Amino acid sequence: MTIHEFGTDNDKVIVLIHPAVVMWDYYEYVIPLLEKCYHVIVPALPGYDTEADGDFTSVEQIATELEDWLISKGLSRVTCIYGCSMGGAIVIRMLADNRLQIENAVLDGAITPYQLPWISTRFIAAKDYLMIWMGKKGGIKTLEKAFSTDEYSQEDLKYIEQVLSRMSSKTIWRTFESANNYKMPEKVETDCRKIEYWYADAEEKDRAWDIKYVKKMFPEAVFRKIENVGHGGLAPLQPERLVRGLEELISRETPGDNRSIEPEREPIYQTDISTAKWIAYDIPGNLGWMAYYAGLARSIQGGDNKYAGITFLPAALMAVGIIELISERIDGLDRTLPKKRLYRGFGALTAGGVTGAVAAGAGAKETTDKKTVVGMCTGAALCAAFAGLLLKGYKKK
């Protein structure tokens, strides 16, 4: 884990921990705004470190290694530590360890451990792995279909492609498995008295679980809703605003009050589907598109080119939905979405499932492999049904 340091002549220490599926240069616009007054420390997390080989380890191990490094350098007194998304999970673990003198902590959309049965966490981890793996294999062309051009520039898409290309299979699995299931003590005792949990207005529903957990583990925490920004959007898009928030926290002698920072945004779509029902819909829906792709692969491998050609377009439509869901996962969105992203994700999956069932059945005369036909029809129907149920659950706020 390479540690990058800036403003080393300054006494006050600020530690910035980046999210998953980005590299340490996620803070490239924030560092110049801080290094004149602070000693800025930015670790390049394992698996995302361009200067060191290795895979992602775990939230717990990274927290311990960063604590060890800070203590060994005589930097155990930290003015402020900031972590976004998975980086926030590492901050939570460091607060629980209580090995450092942390004066201020910001958990920006921080991920907290699932409070679910073990088997459910395995299904979720497998789904996350497959979605990111498909984004990695699809490359820039797939990303262009999944990410709208008004949200991400070509440079942004190339950056995402670069990061995905560097992520090993172990890093993909360990990132999501650990960030969602890291170990915490039953009760946290921390000396940090100024802890803030920031969340974007567009992700308020998605972060409800995390907010509840942080309230339980850190009763003194203050919660701030950040308007007009998405999950993890402050550092790359509004760095001045991020720095202003950090400096306001640092200068405040006592914890502040829970409050919104700006007026409410325009209405968006959200779902009130329970976590249990979401999982009940999500698992068979994912198994459905996987079965469809498996059948398509068998058709190609078996030389049934006409049948593969007939069933290919629905597969491409499903891919648009799957890659959009990858981007939503990266952005920390699931239950609260703009209309465009909702229909590009669950809408495309539903449409792909419907057209896939029709194409697989109509093209049956072009192949002698009836098992593949049945499997693809069934898979497409599952994808259409359960993606459709999730889509139907979204209502305009």
- Among 101-105, 252-256, 316-320, name the one with the lowest average pLDDT: 252-256
Give the pLDDT confidence of 130-181 residue by residue, as tens digits.
777 776 776 655 544 444 434 556 676 677 777 887 888 899 888 888 888 8
pLDDT at position 151? 53
CA 232 from centroid of its chain's CA atoms: 9
The answer to whether residue 105 scores a pLDDT higher than 90 is: yes
- Among 38-42, 227-231, 253-257, name the one with the lowest average pLDDT: 253-257
Query: What's the pLDDT band for 261 if we cut at 50, 70, 90?
Result: very low
pLDDT at position 150? 40
Query: What's the pLDDT band for 265 if we cut at 50, 70, 90?
Result: very low
Q: Average pLDDT over the chain, rounded to whole?
A: 86
Query: What's the pLDDT band for 50 if we cut at 50, 70, 90?
Result: confident
Question: Which residues on adjacent β-strands are paired with residue 224?
Answer: 198, 259
Give the pLDDT confidence of 328-373 residue by residue, as tens digits.
777 666 677 888 888 999 999 999 999 999 999 999 888 888 899 9
Name the residue type at position 304.
D
pLDDT at position 107? 96
pLDDT at position 169? 86
- Among 44-58, 196-210, 330-344, 369-383, name the one with the lowest average pLDDT: 330-344
Cβ neighbours of residue 330 closer than 8 Å, sequence gap 6 or more: 20, 21, 160
The answer to whether residue 273 scores a pLDDT higher than 70 is: yes
Q: What is the mean pLDDT of residues 79-102?
A: 95
CA distance 41 to 38: 9
Q: What is the mean pLDDT of residues 306-311?
A: 91
The answer to whether residue 93 scores a pLDDT higher than 90 is: yes
Phi first, then psi, for residue 273 (nearest 5°) are: -60, 135
Name the residue type at position 340.
K
pLDDT at position 255? 66
Domains of the chain: 2-113+183-260 (3.40.50.1820), 117-181+268-397 (no CATH)
pLDDT at position 149? 39
Whole-structure pTM value: 0.67
What Å distances lie between residue 395 and 119, 229, 349, 384, CA to CA?
Answer: 30, 21, 18, 19
CA distance 141 to 154: 11
Q: Is pLDDT larger for residue 124 or for residue 69?
A: 69
The answer to whether residue 263 scores a pLDDT higher than 70 is: no
